[in-house]
Structure 1
Amino acid sequence: MKNTSLIFLLLALLAEVVGTIGGFGSSVFFVPIANFYFDFQSVLGLTAIYHLSSNLSKIVLFKKGLDKRLLLYIGVPSVLFVVLGGWLSKYLNTDYLEAVLGVFLIGLSAIFLLLPRWVIRASNANAVTGGVLSGFSAGLLGTGGAIRGLTMAAFNLEKSTFIATSAVIDFMIDFSRTFVYYANGYIHAHDAIYLPFLVLIGIIGTMIGKKILVRIPQQKFKRISLFLILMIGTVTLFKAVFLD
C-alpha cells in the first residue's frame, strides 16, 4: 500500500476518535480528509459503508444511553431527507454547497461559544428541523453529523445518551443513503480495498474515543463538541474556496 494510502488510513482513525469524543460521528472529519484522496462520488460511497460499522460500534459501546424522543423527532426526518439529498447529489454542484455548509457551521458554533447562555429551545419543532437539515446535508455532502450535534446540544444530554442517540440516527441515515449511492453509481469496485481497513478503524477508533471520553467532565463536553464543529466548518470552507 502506498504511503499516501497509509496516511489516509491514519487520518481516518484520528477522525473516528475525535468524532466519537465530539459525539456526532467521524464523517464530519472523514469527508474533508477523504476529499484530498478520492473524487467526491467515491467519498460519498466510502463514507456511507464505513459509517455503518462505525455506528454499530458506538451503539454497542454506548447502548445504555438512548433518547427515544429525539430518535423519533430527529431520526425519522433525517432518514427521509437523506434520501432526497442523496438523489440530488447526482445533479447539483457541491462546491458551492460545501462553502455554504462551512459558513453555517462556523456561524452557529461561534454563536454558541461566544454566547454560552444563548441556546436553541429544546422543542420538538427544532428537533425536526435539525433532523431535516442534517439528513439532507448528509445525503448531499456526505456529512450532517455536525448539524445534528448542534441540534442535540440544545437538549443538554448526558454524554452516553448524546452519543448513543446520535449513533442510532446516524446508522439509520447511512443504511438509507447506501442504497441511494449504489443506485447513483458512487460505490466503486476499485475503492473496495479500503473497506476492510475502514471497518476495523471504525471499531478501534470508537473504543479509543470512549476511553478518552470517560476522562472528560460533563461540563466540558459541550464546549469540546462546539470547538470541533468550528474546526470542521473552517476546514470545509477553506477547501471549498481555495482548493476546489
Structure 2
Amino acid sequence: MKLSDIRAPKGANRDRKRIGRGYGSGQGQTAGKGHKGQRARSGGKMRASFEGGQMPLHRRLPKFGFTPKFPKVYAEVKLSALIDIQADVIDLKALTEAGLIRGTKLDGVKILGNGEIERAVTVRVEKVTDGARRKIEAAGGKVELIELSPRPMWIDAARAAKLKDEVIDIDALKRARLVPEGVTRVHIVKRGILKTAKTFRVFSVSRQARRAIEAVGGKIEEIR
C-alpha cells in the first residue's frame, strides 16, 4: 500500500445540506425554520425561561430566605487540632500563635467537633458546635463564648507614622481621627512609603507593612 492509496472511509465526507433551494431537497421554502415569526428570524431567540409573556415559573414560586450582603466569616478549627496547643486557655491569641488561624478579615473563630480531646482546657471563642462542646466538657474542660468582635479597620502604616506619638495604638489613632470611636481593633497595611520609625501597638500587621516598619527601625507589638 502506498500513501497515495489511503482514502477516507465511505460516508466520512458528506456534502453540506443546502437549505432553501426548493421542495425537492426537503428543506425548501421555510428552510426548516417553520412559518413567519420571531423564531424564523435571525437572532430571534428567547431565553429559556420565557413563557410567551405570561408570568414565568421563577416568579410564580414564592421566595424563601435570603443571602446576606455582608455574611459573617468564621475561621473553622477542628477539635483534633487543639491537641498540639499547650496553653490551658485556648483563645484567638493561642490559635494564631499555633498557626491555625491566618488572615484578618474574620469575624471570629468556630470550633468544630472533628476529632477528640483528652485534657481539660478552657475554650474561649465566638462559636462552638454542640458536638465539640460535649467532648470538651466530657474531658473536664469548659467553653466560654465571647461576643462577636467587629473586623479590624485597615490603616496605612505611612499615614499612621506621621502622627507625633512615638507609640501608634488605638488611642493615638482615635485622637488623630483616623479611627472612629466604635472601632476596637486595627490592622496595619502598607500603601504609602514609610520613612519614620514608630512603635505600632495594634491588633495585627500585614507582612508588607511588617517589613517596611522593621526596615526603618520601627517596632511591632501585636495586641490580641
More strand by share: 2
Structure 1 or 2, whichever has the larger Rg, is 2
More helix by share: 1
Higher relative contact order (CA 8 A, sep 6+): 1
**Structure 1-normalised TM-score?**
0.24
**Structure 2-normalised TM-score?**
0.25
